[in-house]
């Protein structure tokens, strides 16, 4: 095993005063190692269960919207390996809600991985952009994304939020990491013994460096969007908050 396999050591974090917009995550490179990429997709459910807080988001925001009408439709933008879309479908079904969750991702590698894995009833995947669905006139009760915003440049950021406003009938909910030295240091130390031979650790640290603080996200969010901080180190961008408190 090499140092490249393990990733950066848990030393002092790099400067965090500004977003590291020039930093590139390995899995975003079109020529990245396909074996490591597949392992990364396979490990996403575990890392997201620990750090993303989507079970809480489902109970607090998504479920009230669906329960008000006995079910509904959910769109997961940038679904990656599909773990969030599958989880939302399972949780809704367990609550007795008839739901159809659609996960979209323009990356053919992500779509292929998600499509090849068994999905619960009411969960499907498409290789598409959010703008493609807007062009089709599609509307979903709830639109979500997980750890997508920090990947985007300014134009794509504005575009995905504009698309979300058109696609969401009741609620749009974009969750992302909040940049901080503590988040970087603890993620670095906590993942050091794990996630070898995948991009989880390296890309996770890059993601933190690329992510917004709550103040930065508030400054760039369009009118009508609200930033809600969630501990530890998550920002939730909500529009409109009809399903939450």
| CA torsion, ordered 47, 50, 54, 55, to nearest 10 deg | 130
Q: Specify whether the CB–CB gap between 191 and 10 falls below 8 A.
A: no
Q: Which of 48-52, 70-74, 231-235 holds the top average pLDDT? A: 70-74
Q: Where are the domains of the chain?
A: 3-239
* Cα–Cα nearest to 103, from 117, 120, 83, 124: 124
**Which of 217, 206, 214 lies closest to 233 in space, CA to CA?**
214
Whether 66 has a pLDDT exceeding 50, the answer reads yes
- pTM assigned to the model: 0.90
Confidence of residue 6 (pLDDT cuts 50, 70, 90): very low
Distance, CA of 76 to CA of 61 (rounded, Å): 14
The whole-angstrom separation of Cα 129 and Cα 145 is 13
Question: What is the residue-averaged pLDDT of the chain?
Answer: 89
Confidence (pLDDT) at 12: 58
* Residue 8: per-residue pLDDT: 47
Flag whether pLDDT at 17 surpasses 70.
yes
The pLDDT tens digits for 157-199 are: 999 999 999 999 999 999 999 998 888 888 888 777 777 788 9
Residues 101 and 123 sit within 8 Å (Cβ to Cβ):
yes
CATH architecture of 3-239: 3-Layer(aba) Sandwich (3.40)
Does residue 245 surpass a pLDDT of 60? no
């Amino acid at each position: 095993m090499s140092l490249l396999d393990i990733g950066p050591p848990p030393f002092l974090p790099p400067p965090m005063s500004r977003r590291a917009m020039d930093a590139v995550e390995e899995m975003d490179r079109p020529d990245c190692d396909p074996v490591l990429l597949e392992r990364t997709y396979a490990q996403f459910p575990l890392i997201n269960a620990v750090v993303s807080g989507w079970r809480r988001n489902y109970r607090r925001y998504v479920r009230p919207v669906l329960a008000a009408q006995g079910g509904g439709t959910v769109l997961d933008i940038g679904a990656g390996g599909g773990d969030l879309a599958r989880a939302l479908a399972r949780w809704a079904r367990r609550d007795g809600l008839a739901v159809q969750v659609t996960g979209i991702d323009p990356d053919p590698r992500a779509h292929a991985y998600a499509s090849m894995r068994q999905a619960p009833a009411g969960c499907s995947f498409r290789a598409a952009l959010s703008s493609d669905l807007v062009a089709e006139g599609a509307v979903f009760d709830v639109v979500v994304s997980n750890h997508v915003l920090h990947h985007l440049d300014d134009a794509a950021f504005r575009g995905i939020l504009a698309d979300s406003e058109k696609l969401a009938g009741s609620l749009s909910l974009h969750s992302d990491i909040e940049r901080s030295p503590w988040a970087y240091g603890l993620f670095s130390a906590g993942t050091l013994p794990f996630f070898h031979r995948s991009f989880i650790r390296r890309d996770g640290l890059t993601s933190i460096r690329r992510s917004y603080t709550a103040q930065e996200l508030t400054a760039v969010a369009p009118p009508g969007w609200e930033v809600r901080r969630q501990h530890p180190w998550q920002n939730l961008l909500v529009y409109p908050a009809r399903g939450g408190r």
